[in-house]
Amino acid sequence: MKILHLDSGREMRGGQWQVIRLHAGLVAAGHQSMLLARPDAPLFRLAQERQLPVEALTPFKLAFSAAGFDLLHAHDARTHTLATLLGGRRPLVVARRVAFPIRISAPSRWKYRQPRMFLAVSHYVADQLCESGVPSDRIAVVYDGVPVPTRPASGMRILVPQTSDPRKGMALALEGARQAGIQLIPTTDLESDLPDSAGLVYLSESEGLGSGILLAMAHGVPVIASNVGGIPELITDGVTGVLTRNDPTAVAEAFSRWNRQMGISARQSVVERFTVEQMVRGTLDAYERVLA
């Protein structure tokens, strides 16, 4: 199978990590997988470091290359638009990770009629696509996949993602922890900090799924997370982590229900449902449906 991936992200966020893991998995399985990304983006550099096929994303390159592939896979909104306009007659698959409804304007409705398949990151996101008029037979739910470390985490720190985005709940997490008498350690690099941690507080007003949550669970690190969007599809409250309302009192109370033993169940949940191999297989199944 020949797949052309498109990503215009400027940062290495959850979506970009899924792109690089999927791209590597497809190459390892013997498929002809090519990535077009911004040459100044971390995703481009990481693909080069891992010796994965990657070229600069430009409108000309997309229009010139599309005909040589069986299908196009757009991983963000901008490349969805580019592929719709410049991808010729190649079948288009679009990743949908965000937890907000589709705009109802005429151009937006036309744009969302073009893909052969949407890969929704959760059932919550899939339901939003259906409510916006996308037929259910053009939607497949493919959860994120994360690597499972050989050893679980063994540290003592409780982390919180550091962000200036007020919708991501860092201030709320810090206030809830203060009320509970807990010290949180802000992190800008979960990959590096999780092995030396005991917990993660991940709060958000809206979330398609939460790949940072999955990464923590894979390390055996139980998470306190907002009960919103697709997050309840990852966490079984009181078993693999703790779900909470988005207010300081509820967050403070969540610490009393949290314990490190939840990390054992969390890690097992990832092994059973959220590995990179399962994500690659689910994506390939969707590709085969499109090409059939």
**Residue among 9, 15, 19 at smallest CA distance from 42:** 9
How many separate domains does the chain show? 2
75 and 115 share one domain: yes
CATH for 97: 3.40.50.2000
Structure tokens given for 15: 């979506």
7 and 138 share one domain: yes
194 and 129 share one domain: no
Structure tokens given for 85: 């306009």
187 and 267 share one domain: yes
Q: What is the pTM for the complete model shown?
A: 0.93
Relative orientation angle of helices 170-180 and 248-257, to the nearest 10 degrees = 60
116 and 9 share one domain: yes
Cβ contacts of residue 268 below 8 Å, gap of 6+?
Answer: none
Whether 144 contacts 274, CB under 8 Å: yes
Helix, strand or coil, per DSSP, at residue 274: coil
136 and 174 share one domain: no
119 and 76 share one domain: yes
Kindly list the averaged pLDDT for each block of 10 residues, start to end, along the chain of length 292. Answer: 97 94 97 97 97 96 94 96 91 92 78 93 95 93 96 94 88 96 94 95 94 96 97 97 97 95 96 97 97 94
239 and 124 share one domain: no
Say if 152 falls within a structural domain.
no
Question: What pLDDT sits at residue 167?
Answer: 85
In angstroms, the CA 162 to CA 193 distance is 12
Structure tokens given for 21: 């893991």
Strands (E) located in the chain? 2-7, 32-37, 54-56, 71-74, 92-96, 117-120, 139-141, 157-161, 185-187, 197-202, 223-226, 241-244
137 and 171 share one domain: no
Q: Which structural domain, as residue segments, surrounds residue 170?
A: 157-273
Question: What pLDDT sits at residue 126?
Answer: 96
Structure tokens given for 268: 């097992």
Question: What pLDDT sits at residue 105?
Answer: 77
235 and 177 share one domain: yes
In angstroms, the CA 289 to CA 292 distance is 5
Torsions phi, psi for 208 (to 5 deg): -65, -40
